[in-house]
Amino acid sequence: MGKAAAVGTAVVVCAAVGVAVVVARRRRRREAELQGSAEADRKRRAAAVIEEVERSLSTPTALLRSIADAMVSEMERGLRGDIHSQLKMLISYVDNLPTGDEHGLYYALDLGGTNFRVLRVQLGGREKRVVKQQYEEVSIPPHLMVGSSMELFDFIAAALAKFVDTEAEDFHLPEGRQRELGFTFSFPVNQISISSGTLIKWTKGFSVNGTVGADVVSELSKAMERQGLDMKVTALVNDTVGTLAGGRYMDNDVVAAVILGTGTNAAYVEHANAIPKWTGLLPKSGNMVINTEWGSFKSDKLPLSEYDKAMDFESLNPGEQIYEKMISGMYLGEIVRRILLKLAHDASLFGDVVPSKLEQPFVLRTPDMSAMHHDSSHDLKILGAKLKDIVGVADTSLEVRYITRHICDLVAERGARLAAAGIYSILKKIGRDKVPSNGSKMPRTVIALDGGLYEHYKKFSSCVETTLTDLLGEEASSSVVAKLANDGSGIGAALLAASHSQYADVD
């Protein structure tokens, strides 16, 4: 009886264990199924977000052509003086670009941010070109960026005077002549001549008292007098016009300059008789350099995504600089961050918890985006390290890294293609977009490009060039050259001081 009971108990225990094993297996299978279902659902949600991003950032060639047409229309409105034009089309008063014949000693001052540069260049004419150049960079103390106009310009003039004192014997100023300076001033200015302009407003962290509404050349000239520095400002230009001058000096076929850096702008050579708002005598050259200020362009044709709209709404200047916010280095990384944040929220891209660092605006900079985009390693190791540093996620799957690189590619491609459409619009405006109908040869046409975005983000610059070729067509594009004009604005200002020298007629 006892033995039978024991056997029975053993059978029951074995049965219970068997049931438990079966139940455990079923539970694991169910959990695996649920986990697989959850993972499949996550992938579906990620795919849906990516598909929408691809759609909203799409820039088919037909759309780029219509954007270029809209930009040409705004350019024409700006040249007529239409106050409602999206493009200011500022007259630069530069009607004589460097020819290569310039010679002598000239200085430049480049003020556009928290640092400024002073530069001197000895020009040797067409044969020797730039014989020698030297420059120094000076940091502006933070308190002077919010101080008085006199304090700021006295500091700048003192640095300039100190730089002049180091002028070596191999820099030659003809006896009896005054030193001449080209002043690159990259803040909004209402220019009234080649060597005068009143400040409209300070930007880039400056808030100096007593300068808005004043002639910045006069402010600098008075400061140089207080320093005992005998120097005349013969040209006031912005960085884009300076780049155009520097580009023309190196290549006589340069017709436009484009800055693609933290911000963006373009300048080009226009026929003076095509500027209805020009009221003075037509310049002898028949040409005038126009500063488009194209960053302010906006049109219902621009492919604005929800990410662009949200970024603009939260910016310091909502509704302004829309084109710039879509193509420049200040904003590309931020657009990528916003898309990754959407994927983190909607598709748990970085796990169940959204990384807190990803919530921080502008935590992902465009140089980081470029490094991730250019990672060609088999496991995207560089991209993974960047995500760890920026987002704070230690381990990311290869799938997450590939998704991130794809987003970088989409944002960079849209920006580059829109930039190319802008360049194409300038070529259309000046009639360099197609082969002449009379059968004559299309003249060689060079665009000088500068800015860290174009210089260092190779996938971006390559896309700009291939898109421009696509828009122009094979035959016309063979005559158009995009050329890097590295640091053109500094020497460009010195060259414009030379081409607008008070001694030009004497020479």
Catalytic (active-site) positions: 117, 186, 239
Is 280 within 8 Å of 262 (Cβ atoms)?
A: no
Mark residue 115 as left, alpha or beta (left: phi above 0; alpha: psi -120 to 50; beta: remaining). Answer: beta
Q: How many other C-beta atoms lie within 10 A of the C-beta of residue 77?
A: 16
Entry field: residues in the chain: 507
Give the DSSP letter string of 212-252. BTSBHHHHHHHHHHHTT--EEEEEEE-HHHHHHHHHHHH-T
Which neighbouring-strand residues pair with 215?
198
Is 422 within 8 Å of 258 (Cβ atoms)?
A: yes
Could you give the C-alpha distances from 60 to 54, 89, 226, in angstroms and in order?
12, 27, 58
The pair of three-digit structure tokens given for residue 295, joined into one six-digit string:
């960053």
Nearest CA to 53 out of 323, 362, 312, 342 is that of 342
Is 290 within 8 Å of 79 (Cβ atoms)?
A: yes
Could you give the C-alpha distances from 489 to 80, 196, 369, in angstroms and in order?
28, 18, 26
Is 417 within 8 Å of 59 (Cβ atoms)?
A: yes
Nearest CA to 100 out of 67, 123, 70, 131 is that of 123
> φ and ψ at 289, to 5 degrees?
-80, 130
CA torsion, points 292, 298, 299, 304, in degrees to nearest 10?
A: 140
